[in-house]
Amino acid sequence: MPFDWLNPYHLQVASFIFINILLGASIYVTLSTGQLSLGNAGFMSIGAYASAILTTRHGIPIPIGVLTGALLAGISGVLVGIPALRLRGVYLAIATLGFGEVIRVVFVNWESLTGGAVGIAAIPQMGRETLAALEKAGFSAASVGLRNNQFISLTVFLLLFAAALLSILFFLRLSSSRIGRAYAAIRMDEAAAEAAGIDTTYYKVLAFCQGALLSGFAGALFAHATSYISPADFTYHRAVEILVFAVFGGSEHLLGPVFGGIFLTLLPEALRFISDYRYIIYGALLVAMMIYRPQGVIDPPLIRRLAGRRAAEGAGR
């Protein structure tokens, strides 16, 4: 086999990195208006459950399930956002964290729909479904020199890569648009932004909705990557994990949480050889960050330096 080096394990870790990139970006979007929302785990679960139920019980194709899940999460983002955004700072953080827990408890107790604590198993996995569909059309993984499990992992990897890349590009473009400028103005000074004629409520709810939509999208993809979900996936721990992406990577630029998502997913895997101690290093790293670089690894000056140097190199060539 020519592609023996293509290891499903590495592809698997990379796939989780892309999901975490989406989650990191989702918390950044609300943060870019200066609102700290910790409800992302809740929105993620809405997306995951909606897509899982539609595809598993009603035979809806995965792409439609994922989009429905994301939209549903976005709509609930608006519904939660309108009343919740009357709160500010830590009060908003607590209210949204509470929302996430409420959603989880609803999923635990609504047994007829969600299966309760047992969760939903045998959710169609995107890689396996793609392979099955292609095999029906007469294609086999061996014809392109891949084993079946390599092909499945590669499909998941590429789909999630595309999803993450498109989302990141969209939000990078957004940051220099009219909407992005409005977000930045609200973040710096809400009263001044309002005085300058920006409809702050509209933009804040829009940012909240975009964050929820992105979390729901990530959640739906998560469901179709692991093929099993239960309420235990979307606890308070998940919300904190997403927050840590932003805290570690940096919350002042979109690439901060993206970097946090990549690095903090990779780290525990890279440290597997010291098994028992790996989360000690994870914790120590976070503490060190708080002391030496409280704004996170990536901040706008660093981005300017990196981009500036690369631009200069490009011009020199």
Partner 1 sequence: MSRTIRLAGIAAMLAFSLVFLGAGKNASKPAVPPKAKAPVIDARIGVISILTGQGSGYGEAITNGFKLARDEINAKGAVRIQLVIEDSSGKQEQALAAAQKLINSEQVAAILGPTLSTEMKVAGPEANASGVPIMGTSTTAAGITQIGKYVFRNSLPESLAIPASVGMAVKKYNIRKVALLYGNDDVFTKSGFDTMKKMAEDLKLSILTIETFQKGQSDYKAQLTKIKGLNPDAVFCSALYEEGAVILSQARKMGIKVPFVGGNGFNSPKVIEIAKDAAEGLVVATPWFADKNDPKVKAFVARYRKAYGKTPDQFAAQAYDALYIMAEALRKAGTSDRAKLRDALAGIRNFDGVLGRFSFDAERDVVMEPVVLIIKNGRFQVFQ
Stretch that binds partner 1, among 27-35, 52-60, 120-128, 191-199 (CB under 8 A): 120-128
Nearest distance from C-beta of residue 181 to partner 1, angstroms = 15
Q: Which is nearer to partner 1, 77 or 127 (CB)?
A: 127
**Span of 33-41, 53-61, 261-269, 286-294 interacting with partner 1 by CB under 8 A:** 261-269
Sequence-ordered alpha helix ranges (H) in 85-199: 89-109, 111-114, 126-136, 148-175, 178-188, 190-195
User: Should residue 21 be labelled a site residue for partner 1 when binding is judged by CB under 8 A?
Assistant: yes
What 3-state class would DSSP assign to 303? helix
Closer CB to partner 1, 101 or 190, in the complex: 101
Using alpha carbons, list the distances in angstroms from residue 166 to 129, 145, 169, 206, 310: 22, 28, 5, 19, 22
Interface with partner 1, residue 214, by CB under 8 A: no
Instruction: Compute the Cα dihedral for 18, 24, 26, 32 and give only its sign.
Output: negative
Q: Is 27 near partner 1 (CB under 8 A)?
A: no
In angstroms, give the least distance from the CB of 81 to partner 1: 27
* Binding letters toward partner 1, positions 167-196, x by CB under 8 A: -xx--xx--x--------------------
What is the rounded distance in angstroms from the CA atom of residue 30 to the CA atom of residue 187?
10
Residue in 37, 45, 96, 153 binding partner 1, rule: CB under 8 A: 153
Contacts of 297 (CB under 8 A, 6+ apart): 248, 249, 250, 256, 259, 260, 263, 289
Report the largest interatomic distance among the alpha carbons of the chain, rounded to a whole angstrom. 65
Q: How far apart are CA 221 and CA 125, in angstroms?
A: 9
Binding residue (CB under 8 A) for partner 1 from 157, 217, 245, 248 = 157
Please check whether residue 62 is in contact with residue 50, taking contact to mean a CB–CB distance below 8 angstroms: no
- Integer Cα distance of 300 and 47 in angstroms: 32
Pick the binder of partner 1 from 57, 88, 305, 310 (CB under 8 A). 310
What count of other Cβ atoms lies within 10 Å of the Cβ of residue 58? 8
Q: Is residue 264 at the binding interface for partner 1, with CB under 8 A as the rule? A: no
Q: Please pick, from the candidates 32, 35, 37, 125, the single residue that binds partner 1 as defined by CB under 8 A.
A: 125
Residues that bind partner 1 (CB under 8 A): 4-14, 16-18, 21, 105, 108-109, 116-119, 121-122, 125, 128, 148-149, 152-153, 157, 161, 164-165, 168-169, 172-173, 176, 226-228, 230-233, 255, 258-259, 262, 266, 268-269, 272, 275-276, 278-279, 303, 306-307, 310-311
